[in-house]
Amino acid sequence: MSKQPIYEGKAKQIFETEHQDELLVYFKDDATAFNGLKKGTIINKGVFNNKISTFFFKLLGENGIPHHLVKTISDREMLVKRLTIVPVEVVVRNIAAGSLAKRIGWEEGKKMPSTVVELYYKNDDLGDPLVNDYHIKAMGIATEEQVATMEKYALQINNILSDYLAAKKIELIDFKLEFGVYKGEIILGDEISPDTCRFWDSETHEKLDKDRFRRDLGNVEDAYKEVLYRLTGESL
């Protein structure tokens, strides 16, 4: 592993490894919101997100979704396949919340009559703007086949996670996915965690995700801890 990361984002550091086609991901406790305008720290967030992401990647792999996880190295580190990231974020929405609720004027918590899939251009300087297939084609940032594959996987992931989480009394409100190319194929990358998903308790509708940080709701660490406990039975 190199002494310096080759990339550092808002929530993770990426390191080279001795294998050219593998990278080491280190999960940080740093928390940001509103495109970095709000910053803070959530104690043990890196540990929670690493463990939760590992759990979800393994669950999805067992159900036929290709992903970048190779293995977990430590509480905060995972070894992953080196992807060429497609600069398109795929957001799947089951219930109106966040920016969608504001954009279409629906009350937060209203169930979507059908699942909504949105595409965003992954560009921090532009604030990750909402785009469609025509924009993506014009910019040349992904092929039509790649977009179709990402959307197909996103809907499959939604079904797998929604069904699994329902048994844990967690409602999957919406979530963000990132994909990359590995040996010519589109596979799932990044993370799946309370940072990238909206999880609500299915009975109380209590938020169990980063919205607790965004909205100053308090008990942020407890929310992440609760998700991990419901998924794995592990308590930190």
Query: Model confidence over 86-130: pLDDT tens digits?
Result: 999 999 999 999 999 999 999 999 999 999 999 999 998 999 999
Strands 111-121 and 197-201: unpaired
Q: Which CATH architecture has domain 7-81?
A: 2-Layer Sandwich (3.30)
3-class state of residue 29 by DSSP: coil
pLDDT of residue 3: 61
To the question of pTM greater than 0.85 for the whole model, the response is yes
One of 1.10.40.60, 3.40.980.10, 1.10.287.620, 3.30.470.20 is the CATH number of 84-219, namely 3.30.470.20
**Residues 6 or more apart from 1 whose CB is under 8 A from it?**
15, 16, 17, 18, 24
Domain residue ranges in the chain: 7-81, 84-219
pLDDT of residue 2: 54
Mean pLDDT, residues 80-90: 98
Q: Match 């996670």 to its residue by tokens.
A: 161
Give the integer Cα–Cα distance in Å for 127 and 124. 5
Residue 33 has pLDDT above 70, yes or no: yes
Residue 165 has pLDDT above 70, yes or no: yes
pLDDT of residue 49: 98
**Residues 6 or more apart from 226 whose CB is under 8 A from it?**
208
CA angle 63, 200, 180 (to 5 degrees): 40
User: Are the C-beta atoms of residues 175 and 200 closer than 8 Å to each other?
Assistant: no
Which of 204, 187, 8, 233 is closest to 86 using CA atoms?
187
User: Model confidence at 207, in pLDDT bands (50, 70, 90)?
Assistant: very high
Beta bridge partners, 172, equal: 199
Mean pLDDT, residues 196-204: 98
User: Are the C-beta atoms of residues 29 and 221 closer than 8 Å to each other?
Assistant: no
The 10s digit of each residue's pLDDT in 124-134 is: 899 999 999 99
User: Model confidence at 135, in pLDDT bands (50, 70, 90)?
Assistant: very high
